[in-house]
Structure 1
Amino acid sequence: MLIYSYDGTFEGLLTAVFECYRRKDSPEDIVSQKAEQKDMFAERFDVSADAAKAERVWSSAQKKLSKRNNQMLFYAFLSEEPGIEMKILRFLQRLFSEKYSIETDFGGSDVLSLSQLSQKVLKEAEKIRQFVRFQHTKDGLYFCGIEPRYDVIPLTVGHFRDRFANQNWLLYDLKRNYGVLFHEGKLEEVEISQKEFHSLTGKVNQDVLEEDEEFYQTLWKSYFKSINIKERKNLRLQQQHMPRRFWKYLPEISNKS
């Protein structure tokens, strides 16, 4: 049994696809080195991410995909769905071998699954753009800790960069322990070793908050209560627009809501 092992990045996965063709391999599985459970009886091939090889695969895929679906594989990859690597490999193998378009061939389980996953990831990214709030720290940084269902930070930073172009901010994924820092007009991926925030809720420790931040959070809570008339409360509808799992990141909603 042959297993491909890669670095967990999309570039690394596309490199693995390239190597499958170059080596004429048919791996049983493609696994991220971060989550790999080694099988002592399996033959293993370690893939090193190569930008040029990944670009060749990506460019070839773009030529055969419609504009509507040209990012579908990347979005689906961000879902981190178990087995996503092999689904993408099988999809690309069909894409490159078939003379007709397979994008709408939903009778094929991989096509349908990748399409559905990509839509779920896009919806998750939209919720992040809509519902997160930043907290202002004493050093002038706006911080937001989130725990999205999928790895959607790459799909949201452009929105926050445009919206908060004159501020320094950090959007941090608590589940995956990485974030994107926007500082002096530049984006940078970061990992925080000394955390000044709660690892579960993402709330900044009180001693590093800017003096007026608590007051502003109180105003947000007051505003939410003023429009949330108890007699007219429709919790089911409210959750459709703002899922409960996002509530812990919003200062306007207390745990008692």
Structure 2
Amino acid sequence: MADQGMRYTYDGTFEGYLCAVLQALRSGKVPAAITDRRNETRPDLAVNVATSLKDAEYLYSTISARSSAEVQQMVSDYFLTDCASLEINLYKMIFCSLKYGAKIAEDYSSELMSGIQMAIRDLYREAQSILQELDFYLGEEASCAVINPRNSVLPIIRKPVLKRRDIDDLLVYDKRHHLLLERYSEQNMLLDISDFPMPEFKDPKEAYDFLWPFVRDRRFDVRVIPGQKKSGSVIEPLWLKAS
């Protein structure tokens, strides 16, 4: 890789992160840092990268084309982990996938790739554990559960949760990552609600009493993102951004 380059910030979404990576790649220099702009301590020294779905989809599809669908999936999975230096490690993985192709996924001698694979295995182990232990409070209009996982597991478990037919309308709130999974009137959404100040809920009933009116009354404005993968080229959003 080339000499160290700029600091980059993004909006916290997977699409935003890919845009920051693409800008860093085009600069020809290894970024000094890539950071969620909400966590950036020196915003005056960082390049604030705007999110472009076109640019994100271009890089995401290029990863698959130059390496494999497996590597592409590893990129989105690793983004959900709670690893130190996640953004810069993922940048290095993307760089290597574009340069060396699919073989990086089987490079067991690489400390970087071994760490990434271990983190992804831990992500799926925690997701399975959370799924098995999910405990819903049965409210008058919906059921609600609150989780506090180390990794961001809601994007992993959302499909099996939403397939449950013993519960009608439901909420699952991840209080650590500020994500809200909702099923209401047969509409399913996974929302990033980090822009909304949330109290510290003591139990799922408190979460239900506070969150359900927002869901029921459609108070969350949601940025429109393409919803499904098509031929491996369009990003399936990990979550939608509410504002």
**Between Structure 1 and Structure 2, how many residues are aligned?**
202
1:169 aligns with 2:173: no
Further displaced range: 45-54 or 185-194 = 185-194
Q: Quote the offset at 1:63 in angstroms.
A: 2.3
Q: Quote the offset at 1:142 in angstroms.
A: 0.4
Distance 1:153 1:50 in 2: 24
Pair 161,36 (structure 1): closer, same or farther in 2 beyond 3 Å: same
Which among 92, 95, 100 is matched to residue 93 of structure 1?
Answer: 95
| Equivalent position of 2:42 in the other structure | 38
| Equivalent position of 2:137 in the other structure | 135
Query: Conserved in 2, the CA contact under 8 Å of 1:106 and 1:112?
Result: yes
| Equivalent position of 2:240 in the other structure | none
Q: Secondary structure at the match of 1:129?
A: helix
| Equivalent position of 1:76 in the other structure | 78
1:21 aligns with 2:25: yes
1:79-134 residue CA offsets vs partner (Å, 9 max, x unmatched): 13221111111111111112661111122222111111111111111112211011
| Equivalent position of 2:184 in the other structure | 183
TM alignment of 1:203-214, pairs within 5 A: 203-205=204-206
Percent identity of equivalent pairs: 20
Superposed CA RMSD: 2.6
Distance 1:52 1:96 in 2: 18
| TM-score scaled by length of structure 1 | 0.70
Alignment gaps of 5+ in structure 1:
209-257
Query: Conserved in 2, the CA contact under 8 Å of 1:171 and 1:179?
Result: yes
The residue type paired with residue 171 of structure 2 is L
Greater relative contact order structure (CA < 8 Å, 6+ sep): 2
Query: Conserved in 2, the CA contact under 8 Å of 1:73 and 1:114?
Result: no
Further displaced range: 96-105 or 49-58 = 96-105
Q: Quote the offset at 1:35 in angstroms.
A: 1.4
The residue type paired with residue 121 of structure 1 is L
Off by >6 Å, runs of 4+ in structure 1: none
1:198-225 residue CA offsets vs partner (Å, 9 max, x unmatched): 62x53314996xxxxxxxxxxxxxxxxx
